[in-house]
Amino acid sequence: MNTYKILNDINLSGKPFVIYKTSKGFDLFTDFSKKIILTNNNTINFLKSITLNKKKNKKTDLYIGFFGYELLNHLIGIKFLKQKTNHFPKGIFYKPETLISLNENLLFKDPLIENKYKKFKININKKNYTKIFNKFKKKIKQGETYQIKICTKYKNKSKIDPLDFFCRLSKSNLAPEAFLIKDKNYSVISCSPETLIEKKGRSIITKPIAGTLKKKKSLNKRKALRYFKKNIKETKEHNMIVDMERSDLSRICVPGSVKIKKEKTVEEYKDLFHYVSLIKGKLNEKAKTIDIVKSMMPGGSVIGCPKINTLNLLNKQEKENRNIYTGSFGYIKFNGDMRFNIIIRSILNFKNTSEISVASGVVIDSNANHEFNENFIKAKALIDLFK
């Protein structure tokens, strides 16, 4: 059965499904026997209820889904002031009974479905962004944080076919952590590049990304690497995030086992170059799934440093829920292995509204105009899908 027919059939069926990027293509999960909607009260019990079975498991012996940003904050004791919310669930996980492997060439377009949408509006204009930027710059000078990420959100009224959007996105801007969730009342489309956790046995890795450069015809990976290494702001930001994620890993790993395996390399995408490192550790024998989640999430590269203090500063400033943005999507297998990304470069469609959230880092050497424009660069690949 070819990929087009599989996608067409699943879309016509009306069944919820998930598509997740793999090293060889994509995995499509469907026929869910369980759907667990997470709350502040049931998440720890959900994670503890996953019975670890080290025997040979079926490929569908897992839960796949996401933790939202607000839920991850709650797990580590971070509180929020009253924020505007659309009441989207704090997290959802599914137990699939069917898994279909697909190749990388996702072709799909239903001529009977018309995407309808209005112009995007941003929740923070440049003037207000600059005010927030200057406030956080002052906090940095006072030593309350070293780096902090200001989130901006683009929203529009829209009725979309998420599978059509995801197939076009995978063709134009494929990323190693891309995924799609299509359920009856919401969808998430993401071209996230960042692996937060990949655990196999007692081996665990994280791959922080800190540093973004818009592509130009005159640039290649070698020149991009030279730019990042010479740029004081990008280098400081990257070093701080790497140090923080090393520290996060060290809390759950055997002392001395956490090592940087690849330091400050460049990855290339359709519109961007990213500054990337790879950190690996060996989990200690007492580390459980809940310990890994609480130690590693939310991912530091999309928040700032130090984590707890910076989260408190952010959550006093932000007037609107982030929902999925800077949460984590992935799976937990019944043998304890897991893989989770950081949810960035994503579209959440809920109640016929699409939202695209982005963030850029503020350090002592940052420029407000540059960071505001960088946010738009990050959002552009997704906004272009609506044209």
The pLDDT value recorded for residue 119 is 93
Domain interval for residue 254: 3-106+123-386
Is the bond into 176 cis (omega within 30 degrees of 0)? no
CATH number of residue 131's parent domain:
3.60.120.10
Query: Is 116 a member of any domain?
Result: no
Say if 367 falls within a structural domain: yes
| Residue 190 belongs to some domain of the structure | yes
Distance, CA of 78 to CA of 67 (rounded, Å): 15
Q: DSSP for 233-251, please give it.
A: HHHHHHHHHHHHHHHHHHT
Give the residue among 354, 320, 356, 325 at the shortest CA–CA distance from 85: 320
What residue ranges in the chain does DSSP mark as E strands?
17-21, 26-38, 62-67, 91-102, 116-117, 121-122, 147-159, 177-182, 186-192, 195-200, 203-206, 209-214, 259-268, 272-282, 304-305, 328-333, 338-341, 346-350, 353-362
The pLDDT of residue 301 is 79
Q: Please state, in angstroms and rounded to a whole number, the distance separating the CA atoms of residues 288 and 343.
A: 23
Residue 165: what are its φ and ψ, rounded to 5°?
Answer: -60, -45
Q: In this structure, is residue 195 part of a structural domain?
A: yes
Does residue 149 contact residue 302 with C-beta atoms inside 8 Å? yes
What is the reported pLDDT for 198? 97
pLDDT at 211: 81
By C-alpha distance, which of 245, 253, 272 is closest to 344? Answer: 272
| Contact (Cβ atoms closer than 8 angstroms) between residue 192 and residue 177 | yes
Say what the pLDDT of residue 362 is. Answer: 84
pLDDT per residue, tens digit, the chain (387 aa), is 688 899 999 999 999 999 999 988 999 999 999 999 999 999 999 998 887 776 767 999 999 999 999 999 999 999 888 889 999 999 999 999 999 999 888 877 776 677 888 999 999 999 999 999 999 999 999 999 988 989 999 999 999 999 999 999 988 888 899 999 999 999 999 999 999 999 999 999 999 988 878 888 888 999 999 999 898 878 888 888 899 999 999 999 999 999 999 989 998 877 788 899 999 999 999 999 999 999 999 998 788 888 999 999 999 999 999 999 999 999 999 999 999 999 999 999 999 999 999 998 788 888 999 899 988 888 988 999 998
State the DSSP code for 118.
Answer: -
First to last CA, the chain: 32
Residue 267 lies inside a defined structural domain of this protein? yes
Quote the pLDDT of residue 1: 61
Q: Which ranges in 19-158 belong to alpha helices (H)?
A: 43-49, 69-75, 126-141
> Whats the size of the chain, residue-wise?
387
Per-residue confidence (pLDDT) for residue 212, from 0 to 100: 79
Answer whether residue 114 is part of any domain.
no
Task: Give pTM, 2 decimals.
Answer: 0.94
Task: Please give the tally of structural domains in the chain.
Answer: 1
Query: Is 21 within a domain?
Result: yes
Q: Which residues contact 234 (CB under 8 A, 6 or more apart)?
A: 210, 211, 227, 228, 275
Write out the DSSP string of 274-287: EEEEEEEEEB-TT-
Give residue 54's pLDDT.
67
pLDDT at position 218: 86
Number of separate helices (H) and strands (E) present in the chain: 10, 19
Query: Do the domain assignments include residue 200?
Result: yes
Number of neighbouring beta carbons within 10 Å of residue 135: 14
